[in-house]
Structure 1
Amino acid sequence: MRLTPFRASASRFHADSGCGRCAHARLETAKVGKDFKLLNFYRPDIAHQALLAILDSPLAKAGKLKALYIHTKKNVLIEVNPQVRLPRTFKRFCGLLVQLLQKLSIRATNGPDKLLKVIKGPITKHFPLNAERVGLSHKSADIVTLPQYVKTLSAESVPVFVVGAMAHGKIDITYVDRFMSISQYPLSAAYCIGRITNALEQHWNIV
């Protein structure tokens, strides 16, 4: 499964089976005194919560999360290593993202692996050929329950979910194959991701 979440406008992830993307994430920096800081009025906390929801899931811990991307409002594309352990506190997360946006990559302290890195687009070149790209939108007339949807996935297809990571607005993604709504109510990005991961965990018998 693939997920992608800075403003993330959206979060994208693909699972194993899958991938995820956080789209329109609002992650903007500004110089304050001698330091650079994330601008909190862009709500980077939404992306932080969404990422923790993905990475903390049994789905990710079982190795089914194959890719995770963040696509910012300013068209910066960030690849997140599914094995990364993000800071739990928002302050430390902001510091990490400021460092990433300046240095373009963050390496593991005990090895050569890159935990976070800015990559070249378009995002579609990073998706598998058999990707089934789904965007979540509360305003979509296509209302589905995720457990029923994942049952329709073929064994060969790789689900790619695009989840908005902004306080207001909509995902404007031309490469999504299908938009769907998973509730009659507006949901937070983290809650949407929780529903996605739960449905896939049930489908693949991950407990």
Structure 2
Amino acid sequence: MLYLILADSELETVTPKIASDKSVQWKARKRGRRATELILDSNRYKATRNLSEPNRRGRPDIVHVCMLAAMDSPLNREGLLRFYVHTRHDRIIEAHPKARIPRSYNRFIGMMEQLFLTGEVSQGESFLRLGKGTLDNLVKRIKPGSTITLSERGRELDREGIFQDIGGGDVCVIVGGFPRGDFRSEVEAISDRIVSIYPKPLEALTVVTHIIQFYEDELDVIKESFKVKELP
């Protein structure tokens, strides 16, 4: 099983500091919500630049594309992936393997607003759940056989080297869910290895898709799924 965590993700609701901004208030009235119930999006609210670390705040789009890629992967379809989102304010989103993520960005934002407001979005037997917890708490709850963090400053490994020592066991992989900078969480303390798959910075989506594919290759997921299909 691959436990994939999109860590320190810049997904949060509008902070009280910019809640009175005209563009935020207009959007809140249009959506019938309080300003602080809206998802912070730096592309929609210029007031985001008045917050601390403005160059990385308000990036729900990163979470959106990574969730879409992960949930639609063969690894997830075969029941071998568990996907989590950890945010800057230590909120944890757990995605049921059959959770349906809207491809429309606006609908995704609406889903996230509902999730932050109610703590759960149910879709029959599947769900998205929101809870509280640090990245360290989450890894301890998962209890993987090993924990690997992806970082450009990590040890350089090729696709065969990343999962060579797991022996088919459960592994947790941590990928940064922010547009620039470094992890805010103490990943060194909770990681068995910090590795790099490319010498230059990569977008979170690229890292997520590569890691999933590397793990699929390690377990021959695609080949095994075709074998099952061919059985009488």
Same fold (TM over 0.5): yes
**Residue 95 (structure 1) aligned with residue 110 (structure 2):** yes
Task: List aligned pairs for 1:72-151, cutoff 5 A.
Answer: 72-108=87-123, 111=124, 113-121=125-133, 122-128=137-143, 130-140=144-154, 142-151=155-164
- Kept in 2, the 8 Å contact 1:78–1:117? The answer is yes
Gap runs ≥5 in structure 2? 20-27, 43-57, 223-232
- Moved >6 Å (runs of 4+): none
The structure carrying a bigger strand percent of its residues is 1
Task: Show CA shifts across 1:39-59 (max 9, x none).
Answer: 111111011111111111111
**Residue 43 (structure 1) aligned with residue 59 (structure 2):** yes
Cα distance in 1 between the residues matched to 2:207 and 2:128 = 23
TM-score, normalization: structure 2?
0.74
- Kept in 2, the 8 Å contact 1:105–1:118? The answer is yes
Aligned length: 184
How far did 1:120 drift?
4.2
Report the structure number with the largest CA radius of gyration.
Answer: 2
- Kept in 1, the 8 Å contact 2:90–2:132? The answer is no
**Superposed CA RMSD:** 1.6
- Percent of aligned pairs with the same amino acid: 28
The structure carrying a bigger helix percent of its residues is 2
**Higher RCO structure, 1 or 2 (CA under 8 Å, sep 6+):** 1
- Kept in 2, the 8 Å contact 1:105–1:114? The answer is no
The alpha-carbon distance between structure 1 residues 149 and 124, as it changes in their structure 2 partners (threshold 3 A), is closer
TM-score, normalization: structure 1?
0.83
How far did 1:84 drift?
0.8
Cα distance in 2 between the residues matched to 1:125 and 1:178 = 16
